[in-house]
Structures are given as C-alpha cells and as structure tokens.
Structure 1
C-alpha cells in the first residue's frame, strides 16, 4: 500500500465526505481545492450520474454490472441501486478493495476484484465466474479513465469484444474540450492539482472519447456534461462528459 503519495481513490473518498484516506490524500485534496473550489461538487455530480446511470441500465433490462475503478465504497454503490443485479467491482487500490470486500461480504451477488482495468484479460478472467458474459453486461467506468495514461480506445476495445450484443459501456471523463472557457480553465486546474499525486490526470477531447466507443451505438444525449445526463438537472456543469453506448450486434 502506497501511503507516501496521494491516491485518486482516497482523494475522491475525502471529497465525498468519507473516512478512508490519509494525511497525504487530504493535503493533495486541499491543493486541488485551491485550484478549483468546486471539486467536491464535481465528485458528488459524478456519484449522482452513477445512480441515474444504473437506474437507466436496469430500465433497459440489464441485471449485470462490471464497475471498473469502483473506488472506496460510499453511499450509492451499484449493488445498492440495483439490489437484484449481479455486480463485480474492480479496483487496483488496496484500500478501496479491502473496504469493498468488507462492505459486501454478506452479498452473494457481489464480487470484488483487485485488478488493473488497463489489463482487460486479467479483469475478465477474474469476473468470468461471477458474470455471465454471454448475456448483456453494463461496463461502467465513471470518473476513472482520466487517470489512465494508456490508449483508452484500445483498452475499452478489449471489453467491447468480450461483451454480448445489447451490453452497455458508460463512462464519465474530464475534458477541456468545452464550449465554456471558464469551465475549461477550472478543469485544467484540477489536472494541475493531481499532477504530483500517484494518480495524475490525462484529459481527452471529444474526438478521442468518441473513438473509444467504436463498435457501440451511442445513446442520446451524446457528450453531455454528467449533471445533464440523461436530462438537464439545473446543476452547475463540472467539465466531465457522460458517454453511453450499446454494444452493436
């Protein structure tokens, strides 16, 4: 466990009002807040998006979820939103994994895996006994891919190839490719705030995010801020795009 450098999962927990973080994470979080005082709102907005997203998926008849970069458990986990679904949580951060296992120990429909989402083969092997990949699965990557310094389209392509038709890929991702220059500046400030942590941020433009959904049919609305998916909420935008796609036949 790396406690010498701040970690994105523990920083996120701090912003959400959790208790599973260390002094180094709190200091990094305060540095991020100095650049963008709205950061806590950004984290809460992503969490609210996750809740709406899971409910939307269940309304489509999906009852299996693969939550990549699931983070430290807090209120509104996928298995709480969709209690009848089978859920696999995947994270590489040991604190996140241990707390998730503790929280879900009595839930036989929940499986927690410590794995790196950028190694899809390892992830898919680990969840194959819990999720039926021959049936539609919702693969969720909420507020995590902007911490990945890999070719996101290539990584997600492996998950796509393992998904049955009708499955869903859903992400939220920070970006400075925005129509509002002030919001773009606040997003760059967040990126700078994470620069010295163990989880630097890599922002992507709209074209890159669309490319990551090759082989999927994009669900309207496309490239909407997370606060306004699937419909406007009236909340302040946070500079993170919500993108949802269905696996084509």
Structure 2
C-alpha cells in the first residue's frame, strides 16, 4: 500500500533516516522566518519532504546552509532545523557592512556563492529562487539556503502559475514571455548575475519600483541595472 507523504515522513523519522530533535529542548526561540503549514496539507508535506531530501544531499558543502534535522512544535507544525547565520541575509549584511567592504571582500563573497551554486548544479539540483535574501552569511561566509522551490533536474516541470514564484528582479526574463519555459541551471546563473550586481552596488536591484507588475514589464522590455562604475575588470 502506498504511503501518504505524512506517513512517509513519520516512518523516516521513526527509522532514523531523518534526525528528529525534541522541540522542548530548544530554549529562547526567536522566529526569523516561516514557511508553509505542514501539519494539515498533504501537498505541503510532500514539498517539505522534497526540501528535506535536497538538504540532506548537499548540506555538507561549506557554502550551503547546514541541515541538522526536523522538529515538531507545540502547535503540531513540522520545522526544518538549520544552522543559524549570525550575519543574517546577504542583503542585510551588505546594508550593514558595505562601506567597509574592499573589492577583495566582494570578490570572495561572489566566488563562494558561485562555489555553492556550482555544487548544487553538479548534484543536478536547480535552486529556482536564488536571491540576496536566501543567501545567508555566517561568520562572513556565504551559505545558500531556502530549497522550497528547488528540484532535481529530472523533476522540473513548469505550470502557468510558476511565474509568481520568486522575486521578479532575479527571475530569468524568458519566464515573463513564456510561462512554459523550463527552468534550468542557466536560470540560476541569471539570478546569480543579479546578485553580483547587488554585491557590487550594495543595494537591491530596481529599488525604485514599488509595483511588481511595473517591474516585470520593465525587465521584459530588456531593461537592466547599469554596471557599477569603477568595477575592476
């Protein structure tokens, strides 16, 4: 008999395939982000399991966030337990430290994100939602996180609604024209290119746009952020 995603998850925990951490052992919890409700929705649990599988496959790389296991909170919701990044997101890190960063620092950050992304691609994983808010910084070291939309390359499929996932400034513009366009590793490279611009400039891309629709049209027409003057070759 085929197991439901919820049953699969419970069995994986009981068999020791997924490390389970008792929620009551955590002290002074502070919420820094949240995802889907995985206590009642089977599709959400299936997506949750997919993220677990991908994290278990790649978490040991120094530029991928470390996965410790899962827990179930007092409300019955599953939570993924990940490494805490002491400098929070790349966007926050740049905002707080940009004036002190040298070109060598910017190059190092860019290279380490590239190493993490290359590792994902070498393991046939496409991130699909790469941006400066899910690249975390821990002790000055970048770590790619948030595998909620990630897929094995052989599992990739596109639906007409897929365009709504992600931050438009980082999405490969081909999606805005063809909703059936399949994401691949080149899509991640486009997102990485936008992250490079953010590392060089110290600010989010297309900051003046308040409307997502207006920004989407702007990018679709071929507009891009201007190169940062003074950037070394």
* TM-score, normalization by structure 1: 0.27
Task: Select the structure of larger CA radius of gyration.
Answer: 2
**Higher strand content, 1 or 2:** 1
